[in-house]
Structure 1
């Protein structure tokens, strides 16, 4: 299997990635598109001609973002806002039930990180429930719309944080071990990659492929659950890493580039089940080099199948309970 590379890199921006692309007639959904890299992902897709729905929990913030995207693109009818709370299955099901017509691109961008111990509306651990199960319900609920597109792409924003933990299938919700926000985040980000692996295996015959990505180190609202001390420590670590040449922090425009690359580039047409960073396929490694690389447990086909089955069972049980 040839590793995919591109002319773009860590300093490329989302708008540079779509320069010259024509997405006219293509429809996209971007979750979490009212802040951070979600805004810039949506902006690039709109500028390239796509019709984009901002799927957001805070619709007022979504409308402000939509107004900005319409103004900067000059495309008043191309940006839409829809309510979506990934931590509530009822909200996800309402979104998918309301969708009409084909869907060419689904960018699973929204997420939470390092949250205190908590649960979603269905009682699932907050980070797995939001980052994985919410998006799993969304993607599976939109399967027919994606299949109708004929060449749909699902783009899943993961993280180098996947290195912190594999998916612990016999204790997904931290019921039998001490809760650790970092481990819970890592597990959810591994789950994101495993979803892309199994979705591609199951859905490639329907013309649907899915890939996961690491956007890079970016200061966004994702870090809102950190204490002042955690933020200060992270800033010191990033400064030291930059000085050592391990990585550089990115702007939101740069952070959105790999998502947009996977959503639009002909270089990944028909390609799925892989993990990308800096607009290149990441190397499989036993230990990350700074933020770079993907660990084998995130691409494990057996774990991907098992997680899919467990995810389906959790959704079915939650829906049965109403």
Structure 2
């Protein structure tokens, strides 16, 4: 497929995850969903389990993970729904998860995240949102590279956000050591990193048959917004022209993740950004849709990869 051809699909913003996977058979395919016990992670995992995949919920709260797994098993009849502990802000936890994984991995969905948290640092001194949303997932995906390469056409799904439009990766001060901390700028930067990761990983891993794409799930009220008040959300809505945020159900919010994970239309396609089940066009000034040019910039993507490797060394 030519890199200039934008991927279009028959699905829309209203499509659900179950509609997107209808007719796809994932029997024998192994999937990991980070943050699989809440929000769109649950519905992403449910849709994939519903078409036969073995799904591992990689979660911080194992009890919530077990409850979710039982619910998915009950609703899909698929008993291959597993739970494993993973704290993306803790590199030792990521390393343990990777070490415990055995055999091929067909689909990795980097879904977990923190949004607009108060200023918090990991023991290494890293800003929490960047550490969780980007560095944790970077360590996980690179750690599982061999397992993805061992699958036929491994796919990585990088759940980003329209919030990436708020900030590029500020390489001069990623961890807010010099500049004043601003929760949304920190979140936006981490979500830009999710797209840049897709660009560079696709380039580096193409020979292994691995593709990586990023996406914006849409506006969904979930536990992700635990640090965000209703007043703050309304303020953001007003800022985006009032009609900027159209709330989706979790089933609709999971649809683009599931599309990117499974659609035959994306065979061999990587380094792209999707929203509402379509590949997004460039962001137009004054709008909250589309992808920022800086998020697809190959030089920034390569630089972020190097910085990430050095940070985790």
Q: TM-score, normalised by structure 1?
A: 0.93
Per-residue deviation at 1:43?
0.3
| Distance (whole Å) between structure 1 residues aligned to residue 86 and residue 273 of structure 2 | 26
Matched residue SS, 2:116: coil
Structure 2 unaligned regions, length at least 5: none
| Distance (whole Å) between structure 1 residues aligned to residue 65 and residue 239 of structure 2 | 33
Matched residue SS, 2:108: strand
| Distance (whole Å) between structure 2 residues aligned to residue 191 and residue 72 of structure 1 | 35
CA RMSD of aligned residues (A): 1.4
| Distance (whole Å) between structure 1 residues aligned to residue 116 and residue 73 of structure 2 | 33
Which of the numbers 264, 272, 275 marks the counterpart of 1:274?
A: 272
| Distance (whole Å) between structure 1 residues aligned to residue 286 and residue 12 of structure 2 | 18
Per-residue deviation at 1:121?
3.5
Partner of 1:305: 302
Per-residue deviation at 1:120?
2.0
Which of the numbers 251, 260, 279 marks the counterpart of 1:262?
A: 260
Q: Contact 2:196 / 2:296 at 8 angstroms: preserved in 1?
A: yes
Q: Contact 1:89 / 1:121 at 8 angstroms: preserved in 2?
A: no
Partner of 2:8: 5
Structure 1 residues 5 and 247: alpha-carbon distance in aligned structure 2, compared to 1, 3 A threshold? farther
Q: Contact 1:287 / 1:295 at 8 angstroms: preserved in 2?
A: no
Which of the numbers 60, 64, 83 marks the counterpart of 2:63?
A: 60
Q: Contact 1:18 / 1:45 at 8 angstroms: preserved in 2?
A: yes
Task: Give the length in aligned residue pairs.
Answer: 310
Q: How does 1:282-297 map to 2 (within 5 A)?
A: 282-287=280-285, 289=287, 291-297=288-294
Partner of 1:117: 119
Per-residue deviation at 1:292?
1.4
Q: TM-score, normalised by structure 2?
A: 0.96
Q: Contact 1:196 / 1:274 at 8 angstroms: preserved in 2?
A: yes
Q: Contact 2:117 / 2:129 at 8 angstroms: preserved in 1?
A: yes
Structure 1 residues 152 and 2: alpha-carbon distance in aligned structure 2, compared to 1, 3 A threshold? same
Per-residue deviation at 1:236?
6.4
Per-residue deviation at 1:304?
0.2
